[in-house]
């Protein structure tokens, strides 16, 4: 069992292959099979390759020396320089009469092609020759109905042609009008942008003016308040004498800011004509300073109770 396990398969296979090869070689040596001729197996045999041996022909003594002298360098011939280049004389060319003649080769006859089913090698015995295929019938020509088909489209009537031309002109007019409208719209948009920028600048200027006027009014109010305090401290008789000579606008500004009780004492000491004018102007100013509703505000709607 151990020996069987130690036995490997590859050496056995190699040994069998060597034995088989030896048997094959022995069979080829013992048997002398008839080789096929070149005419049976293939067409014309190729030409034999002829190796041209380099034939060395020794020239005669006189010819060789003359050739060697004639093939010297021109410097040696002209200036009698010594031959120090170490050049080797060329070998003589082989003669044509020494080459062997090529054997004549006859063209092989072409192989004979036998028709099928003549030798009976198909195994079915005698068989009938195949019939040639029948030609197909030609397609029938299309039937003609007798109606003429025009190759060119029919001509357009003059009225329809005029209508089409008019429609085309109208379309061109509409396209030009649309382009004009687009240009105008772009111009209007640019003008609106410029107006918006101008309005913004005007609003900024208005705000600056308003702030300056408010600042100025505040300064004037402070000055008037100081004058009002001064006249309130004075006696009514002295203040009435000064009020009779003041400008009406300044008098009204000061009187509107004074205490009504003290102003009544001063009016009592003034002349009747001046006191009357001051009273009328103060009344007019009071009515003018009544708050008027702005246009953005809606008027108040007063509801009425319905009587049932």
* pLDDT tens-digit readout, 186-227: 999 999 999 999 999 999 999 999 888 888 877 777 878 888
Q: How confident is the model at residue 166 (pLDDT cuts 50, 70, 90)?
A: very high
- pLDDT for position 279: 86
Give pLDDT, residue 137. 59
**What is the per-residue pLDDT for 112?**
52
**Pick from 230, 285, 223: nearest CA to 252:** 285
Per-residue pLDDT at 37: 43
The residue that leads in pLDDT, 208 or 31, is 208
Please state the pTM of the whole predicted model: 0.29
| pLDDT tens by residue, 48-96 | 443 444 444 444 444 444 444 444 556 566 666 555 555 445 445 555 5
The Cα-based distances of 47 to 50, 53, 151 in angstroms read 9, 18, 71
Arithmetic mean of pLDDT, 288-297:
57
In angstroms, the CA 197 to CA 187 distance is: 15
Tokens of 112: 């004979």
Q: Any residues with CB less than 8 A from the CB of 123 and at least 6 apart, and which?
A: none
């Amino acid at each position: 069992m151990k020996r069987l396990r130690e036995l490997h398969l590859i050496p056995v296979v190699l040994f069998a292959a060597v034995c088989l090869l030896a048997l094959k070689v022995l069979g080829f040596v013992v048997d002398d099979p008839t080789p096929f001729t070149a005419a049976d197996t293939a067409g014309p045999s190729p030409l034999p390759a002829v190796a041209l041996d380099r034939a060395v022909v020794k020239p005669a003594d006189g010819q060789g020396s003359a050739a060697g002298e004639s093939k010297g360098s021109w410097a040696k011939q002209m200036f009698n320089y010594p031959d120090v280049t170490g050049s080797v004389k060329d070998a003589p060319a082989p003669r044509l009469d020494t080459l062997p003649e090529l054997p004549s080769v006859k063209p092989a006859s072409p192989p004979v092609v036998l028709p099928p089913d003549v030798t009976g090698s198909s195994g079915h015995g005698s068989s009938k020759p195949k019939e040639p295929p029948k030609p197909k019938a030609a397609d029938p020509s299309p039937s003609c109905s007798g109606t003429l088909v025009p190759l060119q489209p029919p001509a357009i009537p003059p009225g329809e042609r005029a209508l089409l031309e008019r429609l085309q002109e109208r379309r061109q007019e509409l396209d030009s009008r649309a382009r004009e409208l687009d240009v105008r719209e772009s111009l209007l948009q640019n003008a609106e942008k410029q107006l918006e920028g101008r309005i913004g600048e005007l609003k900024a200027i208005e705000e600056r003016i308003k702030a300056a006027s408010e600042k100025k009014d505040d300064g004037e109010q402070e000055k008037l308040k100081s004058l009002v305090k001064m006249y309130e401290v004075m006696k009514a008789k002295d203040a009435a004498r000064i009020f009779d000579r003041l400008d009406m606008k300044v008098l009204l500004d000061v009187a509107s800011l004074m205490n009504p009780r003290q102003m009544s004492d001063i009016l009592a000491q003034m002349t009747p004509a001046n006191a009357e004018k001051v009273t009328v102007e103060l009344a007019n100013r009071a009515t003018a300073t009544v708050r008027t509703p702005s246009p953005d505000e809606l008027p108040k709607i007063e509801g009425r109770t319905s009587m049932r």
